[in-house]
A and B are shown apart, each in its own frame.
Chain A
Amino acid sequence: MVDTIYHSLSLTHSNLQFLYITLYFGGTIRKNMELYIFLEKMRVKRFFKKLLKEEHPPFEKAATEDDLLKKKQIDSSLADTMELFKKIYYVPNNSDVNIRYIEIGGIKKNAAVITISSISNTKLIEELVIRPLLINEDESKEIELLLSPQVRKADVIEDILVEINNGNTTLFVDGEPYAYIISSGNFQGRSVEKAENEVVVKGPKESFNEQAMTNISLIRKRIRDEKLIVESTTISKRAKNELYLVYIKDIANEELITNIKNKLNSLDIDSIQNLSVLEEYLEDHIYSLFPTILYTERPDRASEFIEDGFIVLLMDNSPDSLILPATFWSFFHNSEDHYLRFLFGNFIRILRLMALFITLFISAIYIAITNYHVEMIPADLLLAISSTREIVPFPSLVEILMLEIAFELIREGGLRVPKPIGPTIGIVGALILGQAAVQANLVSPLVVIIVALGGLSSFAIGDTNLNYTVRLLRFPFLISAGVFGLFGLTALFTICLLYVTSIKSFGVPYLAPMTPNDSTAKDTIFRRLVKNELFRPGYLKPKDIEKKAGE
């Protein structure tokens, strides 16, 4: 409701004032509290925006004349059409757009073929399109029959442009008010390679690459089901980026699919280059520290989710897939959990949980204990700590913060460093920096151990998003522990807990199926035996809840 009012009023100031007055004297304040607060916020925001507004010359908008032209249908005159396309493609200057004029043999008609050579298969065009037309001698044959590949027809300029931009070949024939389209797209990309970010020891190693068709093929290879639907929609206005929704028709929840489609249709953007960018448009909690869409580069993982009733998004130029909705557990889990034997899989789950807690809390607990709860440490250890801390001139909070930030810097630096120099960073960062900092009495050895342990543990959390969440959350915990000891730490932890339970990803509670519980999927901290995983997650409301076929 708020949104509609906000838009319909287009927020002119007098209108706002009017609305306030009606709200005030209408006596409906309580009912409209939400709206009122919203408007009040907007007013404050506008005030500050105005205060700091920069003057700038009016921005230019792209020519609308061009847009109108594109809606038209093409002419039957070949010369006119070619003139038009030359103008649109800016031809002599646009070097890889090829226009080739031919005369079709037999029928004796002039024709032209437009292709963009860098993204189409030129050999195929030559052999299967141009050559049959040239060598034809039969006068009565129709053009469609002359060409061996399948041919589509299009007559609106806009549609034809889309086809050409996709690398397809368009054939214009004089006297015919439509174009023939032959698929010949051939975009360059890499082949299917090993997964680099989500490494497993046991199990498939393939990963998605930048071509959506390859990715779909990788999924179809795993799910040979006629109900596996790959729906495509164009999500951006100018770059015309295609998005593929992959789901199983008789499993995935209809409401969820419509919900996502509505969200995609409401996008009004020139270009969305890849899924990583799209992620931000789709998420409900953009400012939240916790991710709500899973991002994976493993086709096996994506297929597993599809089979459970989740929806997977694929796109060209993205060597990965988005899986939604996502719960905390989908970030916490790893495909290897199920590939390893039951006990081993659960062992790495425990390790991961430990790593999560160690990363989050170890430095904070160190601060809390050494500053507020000294009595907790056994006397010998206490003496050892204090003797090493004696020569360090900083409070322990500063000490830890310094080292934590240094560690993050080494990490970020190590990530961006060109490969040949990589090992140097490791040596300089880990060995020299740590060793020298201790020797220079800047930090105590125990702190190095604590920070290193926390840092190493953070690597055990495989998911990129969750990894960042945990790494960032460490700092508030550190500070709360520095301010209020274990009390502050626990207070913040409780707030986090309450917050996490209240997050929803496309209507699915973040900690489901742990809480709220629906007794279907039980895969949370520990995995069950595969034969006992009888149900699909109930929080998705799948159309078919049982995993067993038939019976």
Chain B
Amino acid sequence: MDNTKGKIGIREFLAIILITIGTKVTDNTPTSLFDKVGSAAWITVILMGLFSFIPIYLLTKLIIAYEDQNLIDIIFRLLGKYIGFFVIFLLWTTETYSIVINSATYADIIETMYFVKTPLFFTYIVLIGVAAYGAKKGLEFIGSAAWVSLIGLNIALFVVLILSILQGRFNYVYPILGNGIPEIMKESAMNASILGEFLYLGFIVTSLRSTNVYKKGIWIGFIYVTTVYMLALISYIMLFDYVSIVNLNYPFHETIRFIQLGFLTNVESLFLPFWLVASFLRFSFYLYISALLFGALFKIKQFNYLVPSIAILIVFLGLIPEAPVFTLINLRENFAYLTTPIFLFLPLILWITAKLKGELKK
């Protein structure tokens, strides 16, 4: 009687994209951009979008060409058993590593901004615990939960954006080009992996109702995420100016501390739950992907049983950095530089191989 068969539709897929990738704007990802290019950070986002356009386009092409196969199958098929294994392993490592850094950052946000007295360990455990529960349940339910909460999350986000734009100063946007065009070009190329998570969405294609869902979802999500990202960066700069924003580690959370909502002067706790829901779902999805990749590497069919082990591993790795406020941002920056080539060139390599093998003509 179950007529969904575990497949997710366009709404759920879109919700996953918006929540997993859109939430990035609320952590310390923007900080490094502001650091390097000053007030022109929002232009970098547009350029990043343009840079990422090509790999995402090629990826979509590939996935549409190989219907009923997800990115893992495609990689194995095009690159062979051994190179394929290596590539997937590389992707799994980077993915898991990014969960470690991101979750450590998020736990740190919760600890430094909201629960100052609570030991980091407990916040971290709860954060990953909930995420692991979701990941264990499966993609279908992460998608459904994401869709149900999406409307609320978006309303909250736009309230923040509108309030901060209203309460910010337009003059602060200048100088428009920040630290100069060369710097903008360099940074946007090097940080393109901020949108690199679109690559991971290729792994769940077989769980979607059709490749059409994938195509539509990817593009709508891509445009939406880039726009929101840009708007958020503009609103941060309008609120704090480029000098002080460099010193803020978590601009989103400083923003919701800064803005006022009518008679409520401190609204950060009002927006905290929405941000938390998004974060939980985000890590659920990442954990799911991590388990999926690991399962694909070592031929484990019921990979959702791997989730608890991976989650525990992540907690212990994430607790290693001391003084996370300083360490994590460096780690993240280096990570972004390292993964950008993978994100930019892997789809290209795959596409060229497919072309050479003559499999795209079908």
Q: Which residues of A contact B (CB under 8 A)?
A: 30, 33-34, 253, 255-256, 259, 325, 369, 372-373, 375-376, 378, 484-491, 493-495, 497-499, 501-502, 504, 506-509, 511, 514-518, 538-539, 541
Which 5 residue pairs of A and B lie closest in terms of their CB atoms, listed nearest first?
Answer: A507-B1, A501-B144, A373-B269, A490-B276, A515-B144
- B contact patch SS: helix
Q: If A485-B115, A487-B115, A509-B144 touch, does A493 touch B273 (CB 8 Å cutoff)? A: yes
Distance between A377 CB and nearest chain B CB, rounded to angstroms: 8
Expressed in whole angstroms, the Cα–Cα distance for A486 and B263 within the complex equals: 21
Distance between A347 CB and nearest chain B CB, rounded to angstroms: 19
Q: If A495-B133, A498-B134, A501-B145 touch, does A516 touch B4 (CB 8 Å cutoff)? A: yes
B332 within 8 Å of A (CB atoms): no
Task: Please name all residues of chain B whose beta carbon is closer than 8 Å to the beta carbon of A255 when the two chains form the complex.
Answer: 1
Q: Which of B134, B145, B148 has the most chain A CB atoms inside 10 A of its CB?
A: B145
Given contact pairs A491-B130, A494-B134, a sample of 5 additional A-B residue pairs in the complex whose CB atoms are under 8 Å apart: A484-B122, A490-B277, A498-B137, A498-B284, A516-B7
Expressed in whole angstroms, the Cα–Cα distance for A487 and B138 within the complex equals: 23
Can you pick out 21 interface pairs between chain A and chain B where the beta carbons lie within 8 Å of each other? A325-B1, A373-B269, A378-B263, A486-B269, A487-B114, A487-B272, A487-B276, A491-B126, A494-B280, A497-B148, A498-B141, A498-B145, A501-B141, A506-B1, A509-B144, A516-B4, A516-B144, A517-B11, A517-B147, A539-B3, A541-B3
Expressed in whole angstroms, the Cα–Cα distance for A30 and B270 within the complex equals: 46
Task: Please name all residues of chain A whose beta carbon is closer than 8 Å to the beta carbon of B9 when the two chains form the complex.
Answer: 516-517
B94 within 8 Å of A (CB atoms): no
**B269 near A376: Cβ-Cβ < 8 Å:** yes
Query: How many residue-residue contacts, CB under 8 A, span A and B?
Result: 125
Expressed in whole angstroms, the Cα–Cα distance for A183 and B7 within the complex equals: 53
Q: Which residues of B contact A (CB under 8 A)?
A: 1-4, 7-9, 11-12, 110, 114-115, 118, 122-123, 126-127, 129-130, 133-134, 137-138, 140-145, 147-149, 263-270, 272-273, 276-277, 280-281, 284, 300, 302, 305
**A498 near B267: Cβ-Cβ < 8 Å:** no
Expressed in whole angstroms, the Cα–Cα distance for A486 and B268 within the complex equals: 11
Distance between A67 CB and nearest chain B CB, rounded to angstroms: 36
Task: Please name all residues of chain B whose beta carbon is closer than 8 Å to the beta carbon of A517 when the two chains form the complex.
Answer: 9, 11-12, 147
Q: If A484-B126, A498-B134, A504-B2 touch, does A490 touch B273 (CB 8 Å cutoff)? A: yes
Task: Please name all residues of chain B whose beta carbon is closer than 8 Å to the beta carbon of A514 when the two chains form the complex.
Answer: 147-148
Task: Please name all residues of chain A whose beta carbon is closer than 8 Å to the beta carbon of B140 when the two chains form the complex.
Answer: 501-502, 516
Expressed in whole angstroms, the Cα–Cα distance for A357 and B272 within the complex equals: 17
Expressed in whole angstroms, the Cα–Cα distance for A155 and B42 within the complex equals: 89
**A487 near B110: Cβ-Cβ < 8 Å:** yes
Closest to A489 in B: B273
Task: Please name all residues of chain B whose beta carbon is closer than 8 Å to the beta carbon of A378 when the two chains form the complex.
Answer: 263-265
Expressed in whole angstroms, the Cα–Cα distance for A375 and B264 within the complex equals: 10
Task: Please name all residues of chain A whose beta carbon is closer than 8 Å to the beta carbon of B134 when the two chains form the complex.
Answer: 494-495, 498
**A375 near B269: Cβ-Cβ < 8 Å:** yes
Q: Which of A486, A489, A497 contacts B145 (CB 8 A)?
A: A497
Task: Please name all residues of chain B whose beta carbon is closer than 8 Å to the beta carbon of A541 when the two chains form the complex.
Answer: 1, 3
Expressed in whole angstroms, the Cα–Cα distance for A494 and B146 within the complex equals: 10
Task: Please name all residues of chain B whose beta carbon is closer than 8 Å to the beta carbon of A256 when the two chains form the complex.
Answer: 1
Q: Which of A325, A373, A491 contacts B280 (CB 8 A)?
A: A491
Task: Please name all residues of chain A whose beta carbon is closer than 8 Å to the beta carbon of B123 when the two chains form the complex.
Answer: 487
Task: Please name all residues of chain B whose beta carbon is closer than 8 Å to the beta carbon of A491 when the two chains form the complex.
Answer: 126-127, 129-130, 276, 280
Closest to B127 in A: A491
Expressed in whole angstroms, the Cα–Cα distance for A255 and B129 within the complex equals: 38
Expressed in whole angstroms, the Cα–Cα distance for A509 and B144 within the complex equals: 10
Task: Please name all residues of chain B whose beta carbon is closer than 8 Å to the beta carbon of A507 when the two chains form the complex.
Answer: 1-3
Q: If A494-B276, A495-B133 touch, does A515 touch B12 (CB 8 Å cutoff)? A: yes
**B305 near A493: Cβ-Cβ < 8 Å:** no
**A515 near B148: Cβ-Cβ < 8 Å:** yes
Closest to A380 in B: B263
Task: Please name all residues of chain A whose beta carbon is closer than 8 Å to the beta carbon of B130 when the two chains form the complex.
Answer: 491, 494-495
Distance between B359 CB and nearest chain A CB, rounded to angstroms: 32
Distance between A89 CB and nearest chain B CB, rounded to angstroms: 45
Closest to B1 in A: A507
Task: Please name all residues of chain A whose beta carbon is closer than 8 Å to the beta carbon of B144 when the two chains form the complex.
Answer: 501, 509, 511, 515-516
Q: Which of B138, B141, B267, B305 contacts A33 (CB 8 A)?
A: B305
